[in-house]
Structure 1
Amino acid sequence: MKIDWAPVHVPPKRRLQTLAAGLYVLIFMALPFLSLMITSLLLYYGNYFWKLIVLAYLTHIYFDHTRNYSDIHGNGTHFSLKLMRNNCVWRNFRHYFPIELIKTVDLSPDRNYILASFPHGIIGTGISCNMSSDIEKWLQLFPGIRPKIATLDMHFYTPILREMLRYWGVVSVSKESLMYYLTKSNHPKHPDNLDGFTSNAVAILVGGAQEALDSHPGRYIITLKRRKGFVKLAIRTGCPIVPTFSFGEVDIFDQVDNPPNSYLRRFQTLTKRLTGISPLIVLGRGFFQYTFGFLPQRKHIVQVVGSPIEVEKNDAPDPEYVDKIHQQVIDQLNEMFDKYKTKYIENGKNCKLVIN
């Protein structure tokens, strides 16, 4: 195999961008396993002092996570926003690809929103940057609206990783958590709004782990046809649904070919059913060469935020009404994809959006 080496003389800013991308991959791909391994080793080999510390921390995690949602997952104070969600590390990460955020319409800050986001890609890189780690651009385009991303509840039981997710404004995708954040008071003088925000925009990667299994460069395959839970949630809370689409998301990583019914796909599907996580064999680039590794490729990512789809609030959503709103989401995604694919996807004229 011929290795395509990176040039020797690379501008320092590009080296910094590569380091930031490496840190991102380490956090999302390696940190969960490293933290669990370190915790297990300390419990097994550590002395009584370290065992006591670890047990106290694990106890704190359990009771802290089962408390009221207003006390966990980090609302994002000015300090945490500056320290974790708006700094030079994540700005370098944004410029590595680069990642853009495009607004098509204004969103009023006097109400909460559900952002139905596609595609998931391997690790949802574009939306993670725009609505979690580097939110300066979001705050410029949508002032007063607090950006949050919903992820698997199990991540908030993972030592160390949970602390980082909280300060990035990430919340649990559990029903209780989403109901809390989508029904919070939007009154400017409400105690929860002392940080200057008046509403929440909670992004849900609807396709989840299943969609990640279909992520390959140039293939836009999203999982949506049978995913209607987010629509029911929107109706119960009265929150508009805002479809968003991240062009280029599937191009930054490839994975080992896993066609349906292959042995690898069967194993991945079984693991996903048991754990909620898809075990992907990721193919990227390295720090000093472009042939193999776990770093993402430098591909342009553009997250386009669509128009709100209004819903009528109802505690018991009617199935026909759910199907109607669900179809509106599909229609807007198709329209958005056809409108922007030639602008934001390389050779986008031949790309098709497949909805499973």
Structure 2
Amino acid sequence: MKIEFAPLMIPLRRRMQTAAVLQWLFSFIALAQCCLAVFILLSLSDLWFLAALYAVWLYVDRDTPERGGRRSSWVRGWRVWRHFRDYFPLTLVKTVDLDPKLNYLFGFHPHGVLVAGAFGNFCTKASEFGKLFPGLTPYLLMLPFWFRVPFFRDYIMCAGLVSSDKRSASYLLSRPGGGHAAVLAIGGAPESLEARPGALTLQLLSRKGFIKLAIKHGSPLVPVFSFGENELFNQMPNPQGSVLRGAQERLQKLMGVALPLFHARGVFQYSWGLLPFRKPVCTVGKRLGGGHWG
């Protein structure tokens, strides 16, 4: 394979963008494991009492991911997220105002490999969601599994991530006074196994629970589509019936998480690596009627 190296003279802003995406990628694929390792090492060290205190905190705080989380305006406003946005770049398009007196359920498609569009637009201030939709607070729903990992759970909650458990979504949609937007990647982990450039396979037929939830709480449904999401990574061939696909689906059933074997470009070369391609991602909803963005 011929390797295409990056030019030596690249503007600093592009280097900053690459660094921002690199840290985001690390947080997705390795930070949870590192946090768990730190907790275990702390438990086995002379500072074991700190781990014990944190374990008590975990028990006391166990319901927080299902009750709106604990977001941090400071973390969501980090400058690194603007570099992250500009790497692709990410764009959030508003088509109509949303009434902040209501609670909304955003149905996000496609999941992609790492839901870059959903994270950048709804878990950071980089796309200025708050200015586009004043009075509305977005919450991105994530698999409950990740909120059991020590330290990591606290970090992701700072970004506005909450558990995708039914109780969590119900809590947000039932809040009095409105102003809450629960963002759900409808296709979930199974859809990530189909994400690759030029392809668009959505998981819809067996995903109807979110509609019942929205009806139950009287919350408007907002279909959201992220154009370009599937163009960010290549994925190892895993057709239905293959050994790889079988292993991925068993893992998904066992742990609730999928393991797409993805690749794209590197830091100093463009031929192979884990960094996403620099492809634009535009997240937008279509107005269906009723005065809603959706």
Pairing 1:279–2:279 present: no
2:102 maps to: 111
State which of 54, 57, 67 in structure 1 corresponds to 2:54.
Answer: 57
What TM-score, normalized by structure 2, do the two folds share? Answer: 0.94
State which of 145, 149, 157 in structure 2 corresponds to 1:158.
Answer: 149
Q: How does 1:1-356 map to 2 (within 5 A)?
A: 1-43=1-43, 46-47=44-45, 49-66=46-63, 69-70=66-67, 73-74=69-70, 76=71, 80-81=72-73, 83-186=74-177, 199-307=179-287
Q: Which amino acid aligns with 1:214?
A: E
1:118–1:206 contact (8 Å) kept in structure 2: yes
| Deviation of the 1:136 alpha carbon | 4.8
| Deviation of the 1:253 alpha carbon | 1.0
Rg larger in structure:
1
| Deviation of the 1:180 alpha carbon | 1.0
Q: Give deviations 1:195-241, integer Å, cap 9, x for gaps.
A: xxx50111000100000011111101110111001001001110010
Q: Which runs of 5+ in 1 are unaligned?
A: 187-197, 311-331, 333-356
Q: Give deviations 1:29-51, integer Å, cap 9, x for gaps.
A: 111122223323333xx32x322
Q: For the residues of structure 1 that align with 2:127 and 2:270, how far apart are their CA atoms?
A: 30
Aligned residues: 291
| Deviation of the 1:307 alpha carbon | 3.0
**Where does structure 1 differ by over 4 angstroms across 4 or more consecutive aligned residues?**
67-70
Sort the Cα spacing of 1:216 and 1:67 in 2 relative to 1 into closer, same or farther, 3 A.
closer
2:174–2:217 contact (8 Å) kept in structure 1: yes
Q: For the residues of structure 2 that align with 1:282 and 1:54, how far apart are their CA atoms?
A: 35
Q: Which amino acid aligns with 1:97?
A: F
For the residue of structure 2 that corresponds to 1:133, the secondary structure is coil
Q: For the residues of structure 2 that align with 1:306 and 1:39, how far apart are their CA atoms?
A: 45
1:97–1:298 contact (8 Å) kept in structure 2: yes
Sort the Cα spacing of 1:224 and 1:69 in 2 relative to 1 into closer, same or farther, 3 A.
closer
Q: For the residues of structure 2 that align with 1:232 and 1:67, how far apart are their CA atoms?
A: 24
2:3–2:270 contact (8 Å) kept in structure 1: yes
Query: What's the C-alpha RMSD, in Å, of the aligned pairs?
Result: 1.7
What TM-score, normalized by structure 1, do the two folds share? Answer: 0.78
Give the structure, 1 or 2, with the largest relative contact order (CA under 8 Å, sep 6 or more): 2
Q: For the residues of structure 2 that align with 1:296 and 1:6, how far apart are their CA atoms?
A: 15
| Deviation of the 1:66 alpha carbon | 3.0
Same amino acid, percent of matched pairs: 37
Q: Which moved more, 1:17-26 or 1:175-184?
A: 175-184
More helix by share: 1
